[in-house]
Amino acid sequence: MLDSIQKLTPLVSNINKAEVLYTIQLGVFKNLDVEFNNNENTNFREVLTEKGNAYQIGAFTRYKKTTSFKEEIKKIGLKDVFLVPYYRDKERIGIKEALRLSNEEEFIKD
Full-model pTM: 0.74
CA distance 72 to 89: 23
pLDDT in tens, 41-81: 568 888 889 999 899 999 999 999 999 999 999 999 998 99
Residue 72: phi and psi, rounded to 5, are -65, -40
pLDDT band of 3, cuts 50, 70, 90: low
Residue 95 has pLDDT above 60, yes or no: yes
pLDDT band of 34, cuts 50, 70, 90: confident
Query: Of residues 44 and 20, which shows the higher confidence score?
Result: 20
* Radius of gyration for the alpha carbons in the chain, expressed in angstroms and rounded: 14
